[in-house]
Amino acid sequence: MADLVYRKILADLKQRIQNDEFPTQKLPDERSLMVEYDVSRSTVKRALNIMANQGIIFKKRGSGTFINPLYQKNQTIFQYEGSNLGVTDSFKSDGKIPSIKLLEFRVIPANEELQTELFLNPGDFVYEIKRLRSFDDQPFMIELGYIPIKVAPGLSVETVEGSIFNFLEGSTGKTVTKSFMTIAAAPSTPEDQELLNLKPVEPVGIMEGIFFLDDGTPFEVSNMRLHYKYLNYNTFVNLDENG
């Protein structure tokens, strides 16, 4: 995986940026990099394009390639990168111990909305999994997930009390690297307040996600209600939509 040429260049350039090896905030031009790394210009461009899409660098034709000062100076905001999709991993634990309490686990027929979102047929069944996640006994999220039985037939109570993504990867080798997310906010319901230990005026953050297998199969629909202090979503938006 990591022995790809463009990935090595990518990793190396990121490292060199962090090491402040480009004090002028300007990277060498593409033709120099091509000689330096002894690769073709296409490969250089590939690595640079990925960094540009991640907001690490800006490219300006005729002028050069420049480092996003924020990436260097304030990489705390950029640490969204490299995060995992699974909640277990993506909410940085800061040494706190994550735990899962299973609130509900059953099989139900997929309603119309789930049929649309998970691309199921009428009569297909899904697992309904409701879980409460905590860090050090401080609950921070109510997770209501739906998974078609036909894509994960072997789900058990023990599995569901841990990371479903890890189970999936271990049992089938498939990984979940893509999702469609919707982020919103709402006043907390009495149930939210009880489970997440919230005051009535304190809201919840809502993250709804449809997670896909690598081949595009919708794998899970998840509705996550978060203690508002834990909703902190960072993203770099680039409307150029170039590759």
Partner DNA sequence: TTGGATAATTGGACCGTATCAATTTATAAA
Partner DNA sequence: TTTATAAATTGATACGGTCCAATTATCCAA
* Interface positions with DNA (CB under 7 A): 4-7, 27, 29-32, 38-43, 45-46, 48-49, 59-65, 242
**Cα–Cα dist 29/79, whole Å:** 27
Indicate which of DNA, a second copy, none lies near residue 5 (CB less than 5 to 8 Å, by partner kind): DNA
Among 16, 73, 101, 150, binds a second copy (CB under 8 A): 73
| DSSP codes, 144-200 | EEEEETTT-TT--HHHHTS-HHHHHHHHH---EEEEEEEEEEEEPPHHHHHHHT--T
Give the whole-angstrom CA distance, residue 17 versus residue 10: 11
Buried residues in 213-243 as b, exposed as e (16+ CB within 10 A): beeeebbbbbebbbbbebbeeeeeeeeeeee
State the binding partner of 179 from DNA, a second copy, none, CB within 5 to 8 A by kind.
a second copy
Asked if 177 and 135 count as a contact pair (C-beta separation under 8 A), the reply is no
- Residue 95 as a binder of a second copy (CB under 8 A): the answer is no
Contact pattern from residue 30 through residue 69 relative to a second copy, giving x for each residue in contact according to CB under 8 A and a dash for the rest: ----------------x--xx--xxx-xx-x--x--x-xx
Residues in the chain: 243
Pairing between β-strand 57-60 and β-strand 176-187 as defined by DSSP bridges: unpaired
Candidates 15-23, 104-112, 129-137, 211-219; binding stretch for a second copy (CB under 8 A): 211-219
Residue 15 in the binding site for a second copy (CB under 8 A):
no
Q: Catalog residues that contact a second copy under the rule CB under 8 A.
A: 46, 49-50, 53-55, 57-58, 60, 63, 66, 68-70, 73-74, 77-78, 81, 83-85, 116-117, 119, 177-187, 200-205, 210, 212, 214-216, 218, 228, 231-243
